[in-house]
Amino acid sequence: MRLRLAAICVCVSGAAAVPPPTTSNLSVGDGESLFVARYGPRDGEPVLILPGPVGSDAAHAKVAERLAARGRHVVVMDPLGMGRSARPRGADYSLAAQSERIARASARLGMTRVTVVAQGVSASIAWFLAARHPSLIDGIVSIEGGIVEQQGTPGLSRTRALAPLARTPIGRMIARRRFHRALVDASHDGAWVTDSVVDRYLAPMLHDLPGTLAVLDRMQRTAPDSTRRVLPAVRAPVTLLLGRDRRGEAGAVRADEVAALAALVHARVDTVDRSGPHIQQERPDAVVAAVDALPRRALTADRSPD
């Protein structure tokens, strides 16, 4: 184990101009499809980005563009029910099921070994993915993602509480204003929270509001997975990036979750200066640096949980 709690100070050049991503929807089961945005050269080293429940590829464009400019093949993939992926109401939204869909979609794209960047609850999908498909994962960078048992997190509950407001024009205006304020309050410097950013974050949810509400409810009712049980089977190098809001308060990852992740075979925990929990927006270069700094997989034992 390697643990270093320190502030990152990185100097990575800004992203050069890269072509806009190509987008598609990949079928991974009956009525189930995942939205995919692909950046950079197809023969570059692959990086798989798993966004959180809100934002889709818009939340990670800065990181994706910078990695693509450095020759990486970047795939931003929304888990089922999130972002711009399909919202089947009867699907299994357990973390284990989500990880299997990601594995199938990765195989369809011809990706056999990837570095994963996962935000929030999607980090727990990444833990299952790494435990169940160890040969697929070269390393994981978790952005404010600890250890959760189901997608019905407090953050998702807050989103669920705001979503019904969007049924009417006045309610939509109120929800938008509250969402904008929540992003600013969670930031070190809220300058990145522009009207355009807010619109892009909310667009996937508002596009299918009834479907969004139904899926959020189902996620909250899905039986928990034993995420801690699969952690010992994670053999890939892991870096957990933590931010702090403008009040200096830590994000959503509890101290016991940080300790459990730090106990992995090859783990590192870093606090990013001048950033709240949305590190991919406020300090995208820190995320790029963390991807570049991941060591090659030290242990390759093909070990899966029972």
Q: Is 234 within the bounds of a domain?
A: yes
Dihedral angle of Cα 252, 253, 254, 259, to the nearest 10 degrees: -170
Enumerate residues 6+ apart whose C-beta is below 8 A from 173.
Answer: none
**How would you label 243-252 residue by residue, b for 16+ Cβ within 10 Å and e otherwise?**
bbbeeeebbb
**Confidence at residue 249, expressed as pLDDT on a 0 to 100 scale:** 66
- Is a pLDDT exceeding 70 seen at residue 166? no
**Confidence at residue 292, expressed as pLDDT on a 0 to 100 scale:** 96
What tokens appear for 291 in the block? 């991807």
Q: Is 304 within the bounds of a domain?
A: no
Residues forming beta bridges with residue 238, ordered by sequence position: 140, 267
What confidence category does residue 178 fall into, taking pLDDT thresholds of 50, 70 and 90? confident
Number of domains observed in the structure of the chain: 1
Over residues 120-155, the pLDDT tens digits come to 999 999 999 999 999 999 999 999 999 988 655 555
| Domain range for 171 | 7-293
* Rg value, the chain, Cα: 18
**Confidence at residue 8, expressed as pLDDT on a 0 to 100 scale:** 40
> What CATH number has the domain bearing residue 142?
3.40.50.1820
Neighbours of 34 (CB within 10 A): 27
Over residues 194-243, the pLDDT tens digits come to 999 999 988 888 877 777 878 877 877 787 778 999 999 999 999 999 99
Q: Is 302 within the bounds of a domain?
A: no
The answer to whether 79 and 96 have CB atoms below 8 angstroms apart is no
Give the residue, 247 or 176, on which the prediction is more confident: 176
